[in-house]
Structure 1
């Protein structure tokens, strides 16, 4: 706590991940929201090589010329971290996958977001699917292609199929194989991001999602209004380019679903959150099929957090503005730390 009595929150941005720049965009918005909520905020940028760089106060976070990596700041080590709470606004491997969460547990630092297990499980689509299925939640038909294995046609599937890196987010590396002849090149593209690949049966769907939050003092997590992302006909699916670079892609929140389907989507979002052992926050992406069946696509434990990100938009549509959202997450992190320490 500072001399003025304010709690000090340390935000982590960047990271050893292909989603490095998205994390910095999220971190800028979280920093301003926390300050509006009355916190003192420091920002630690993590370079692509893993170097920690303390950022100057009250200046925009700076990239290199290609806007691919944070480059400014004062080098620091973990034992120089001085904060009451950590807020790891990190997307993808080496940040959203339990690694940073484990480090914060080791140094006894309260932090916002899911714990080690849920972060690791949700970031790996193979294990996430296994846990979701074990909890009785439906997912699209899928198979895993282990590192080094040669891709082959799957007898139970009919092209097109989706090919995805197992441990990457933001639709990075996701491809469609329209025929089995295209499978090898699709797997090669996915393996640029992860040697482990997941293959899913393609189907006609609507992309819907919910934000899920826990609140200190409440017994159960709460889902936001449902959202539906609409992409133009030039996009076969919600690719990385469509999500982050096409301004015509829009989120409808609330989603244009009937009451029964809306309740089904919101309930499944909370069920998926609980099935993976999530805490704090997550965004649950789902598919609605032509028969109005709902399938869980994935659970993102640190969703995009910029002003234009779907997570913030869905909670705004639910009546929760960003300063109140981040304030609730910090308060929950402190309460959870007080309740969850294991005896020594």
Structure 2
């Protein structure tokens, strides 16, 4: 389902940006797969699945240049921070400079907050959410707990610390099908078939192994059989959903017990589709709840809220992205493309929303 009113608002915002883009530089801070030395890795899960390929970087640069912005690329956090500290960043052309960060070098919690925090310290406008929100959204259990406390449909969740220890002694029922995910990761890092099962010594042994190799706890959630959808959201007089996009595997919308594991995500082995198979009222509720999550977590610019939906229409938030992918293989780009607009408008919207937030348009 595409919300054409929201897309029209997005288009008008992009057009306003284009009228002043000649004054704007976009500095991209990114990890690039082909430029990494892979010194810091997990033994059984490549961090590079979170990073951009050179092809994707070219697409991002072209999208910003098409709307008239000047673009500068920094590979990794170190190169950008050195540029700021030695004064090179301040000499970039055009008076209005914004930073678009996707870099998250290293492992563990909070690593995607480094550039937003550094930019905040130095008074540099950044397209991402603030450091606190960026770090918070990467802690899946904390997000689920906040949503539950505010009456939003979070997936029932427990927090496993390893070696038989559960946060506050809370354990899931033995008769419920469960899925375990790395607490601080995205892009399905560490997610394989043995992450799904019922509470048992065998299942806990598998989770203990995951915790050892990923060096972090896991969030254990009720496994929701059925559909998976993404709701892209942008900031426009509050949170504005763009549409409800279904995820497909082998062309099928009803995933049943299938899910986006590490292998599928790493090779972009999933697709996007309209959600017309869902009742209109359900699509409205998904959009409304996605907007509420965006507002509750105080996400800035653009974001995405992911759900699993049962065949009878119950829906549960499974993930929140404060820096969602906006490249060609993304639900943002799919929505624009499906409306007959260039998929590069997904990145143009990011620039336009933030230029307005900074008072430049």
User: What TM-score, normalized to structure 2?
Assistant: 0.75
- Match in the other structure for 1:63: none
- Match in the other structure for 2:196: 176
Secondary structure (helix, strand or coil) at the match of 1:114 reads coil
Distance in 2 separating the partners of 1:104 and 1:150 = 38
- Judging changes above 3 Å, is the alpha-carbon distance between structure 1 residues 302 and 8 closer, same or farther for their aligned structure 2 residues? same
- Judging changes above 3 Å, is the alpha-carbon distance between structure 1 residues 136 and 315 closer, same or farther for their aligned structure 2 residues? farther
**Corresponding position: 1:23 with 2:51:** yes
1:186 aligned residue (172, 192, 207)? 207
Q: Deviations 1:43-85 (Å, cap 9, x if unpaired)?
A: 1011xxx54279xxxxxxxxxxxxxxxxxxxx85644334511
What's the offset of the Cα at 1:337?
Answer: 3.7
2:222 aligned residue (201, 207, 212)? 201
What's the offset of the Cα at 1:291?
Answer: 2.5
What's the offset of the Cα at 1:269?
Answer: 1.0
Distance in 1 separating the partners of 2:212 and 2:289 = 30
Higher helix share: 2
Q: Is the 8 A contact 1:97 1:121 kept in 2?
A: no
User: What TM-score, normalized to structure 1?
Assistant: 0.78
1:144 aligned residue (142, 150, 159)? 159
Secondary structure (helix, strand or coil) at the match of 2:27 reads strand
- Match in the other structure for 2:259: 237
What's the offset of the Cα at 1:100?
Answer: 1.6
- Match in the other structure for 2:281: 260
What's the offset of the Cα at 1:338?
Answer: 4.9
Structure 2 stretches of 5 or more lacking a match?
1-20, 33-39
What's the offset of the Cα at 1:244?
Answer: 3.2
- Match in the other structure for 1:68: none
- Match in the other structure for 1:72: none
Greater Cα offset, 29-38 or 78-87: 78-87
Structure 1 stretches of 5 or more lacking a match?
55-74, 340-344
- Match in the other structure for 2:16: none
Q: Deviations 1:193-219 (Å, cap 9, x if unpaired)?
A: 3412111122313111110011xxx41
CA-atom RMSD in angstroms: 3.1
**Corresponding position: 1:112 with 2:112:** no
Distance in 1 separating the partners of 2:207 and 2:217 = 13
Q: Deviations 1:116-173 (Å, cap 9, x if unpaired)?
A: 2221111111111122112210112111123676479935242531111111001111
1:134 aligned residue (142, 149, 155)? 149
What's the offset of the Cα at 1:335?
Answer: 3.6
Secondary structure (helix, strand or coil) at the match of 1:138 reads coil
